[in-house]
């Protein structure tokens, strides 16, 4: 138990000091990844219709050549983890059999798996506010048993990276990470309310401006917070602002 906590603290320490993304990947390998016999790790964030490599560690030069954005339509394990929200574990031999036909010729997977023929791969979504905002992969020298404790390690990495990846210090554009989470179905009245919230107005003042009840304002704010995956009215207003949903002028 002490060993597990100390390994997890390595990753938390890197995240807390806003380390470079490659150093975060290193902290995954040397921290919680060590409990899985990890050799390499890569972190990807969601942009539009693809996953973009953000940080990596443990790959050799030949294995780096294929590091490129991966379309969400491609049948890769890390993409499947992002799309389904599920953790996947596969032996390198199984990946050779199942994914060989979809590999790009220059893909980093081929030399990597030739280097670690008895190894395995674990991929998992990066979760923030209950939704995937990216994904990560851990390459293991061996094939762990993948029991409940090892899946718990991957779950810890997933949520720790979720907090980091959606923070400005991660280096990922804030608008992109919010856009990855946001449901665009925000009504015009909710936008008007959020605009006034950002202006510092109270719910009572907003209700008077829109000629609705305070209860209606609160209900609209609750729905907008759900759409934008925000913890409170101010966070929802800021997310809407970053997404460009609010009127520059705003209601008067």
Domain containing residue 157: CATH number: 3.30.450.40
Phi-psi region of 47 (alpha: psi -120 to 50; beta: other; left: phi over 0): beta
- Structural domain boundaries, residue 213: 182-242
Beta bridge partners of 38: 140
pLDDT in tens, the chain (252 residues): 668 889 999 999 999 988 899 999 999 999 999 999 999 999 999 887 789 999 999 988 777 765 678 888 777 888 889 988 899 998 887 876 776 555 444 455 677 778 888 899 999 999 887 778 899 999 999 988 999 999 999 999 999 999 999 888 888 876 566 666 555 578 889 999 999 999 999 999 999 999 999 999 999 998 888 777 677 888 888 878 877 788 665 554
Whether 8 and 68 share a structural domain: yes
Task: Please give the Cα distance from 59 to 217 (Å, whole number).
Answer: 53
Strand bridging mode 88-91 / 70-71: unpaired
CATH code for the domain of 193? 1.10.10.10
Q: Is the domain of 163 the same as that of 142?
A: yes
Same domain, 52 and 30: yes
Give the domain-ending residue among 124, 145, 176: 176
Same-domain check for residues 141 and 218: no
163 CB neighbour count, 10 Å cutoff: 14
E-strand stretches of the chain: 38-47, 50-57, 70-71, 88-91, 120-128, 131-140
């Amino acid at each position: 138990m002490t060993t597990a906590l100390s390994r997890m603290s390595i990753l938390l320490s890197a995240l807390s000091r806003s380390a470079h993304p490659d150093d975060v990947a290193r902290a995954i390998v040397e921290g919680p990844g060590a409990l899985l016999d990890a050799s390499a790790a890569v972190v990807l964030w969601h942009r539009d219709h693809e996953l973009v490599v953000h940080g990596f560690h443990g790959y050799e030069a030949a294995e780096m050549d294929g590091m490129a954005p991966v379309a969400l339509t491609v049948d890769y394990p890390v993409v499947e983890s992002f799309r389904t929200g599920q953790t996947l574990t596969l032996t390198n031999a199984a990946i050779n059999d199942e994914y060989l036909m979809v590999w790009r010729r220059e893909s980093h997977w081929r030399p990597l798996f030739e280097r670690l023929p008895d190894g395995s791969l674990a991929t998992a979504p990066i979760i923030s506010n209950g939704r995937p905002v990216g994904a990560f992969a851990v390459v293991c020298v061996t094939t762990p048993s993948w029991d409940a404790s090892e899946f718990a390690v991957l779950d810890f990495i997933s949520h720790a990276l979720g907090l980091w990846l959606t923070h400005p210090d991660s280096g990922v554009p804030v608008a992109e990470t919010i856009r990855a989470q946001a449901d665009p179905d925000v009504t015009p009245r909710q936008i008007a309310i959020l605009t006034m919230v950002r202006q510092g107005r109270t719910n009572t003042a907003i209700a008077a401006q829109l000629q609705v009840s305070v209860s209606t304002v609160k209900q609209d704010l609750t729905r907008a917070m759900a759409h934008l995956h925000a913890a409170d009215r101010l966070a929802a207003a800021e997310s809407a602002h970053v997404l460009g949903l609010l009127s520059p002028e705003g209601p008067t």
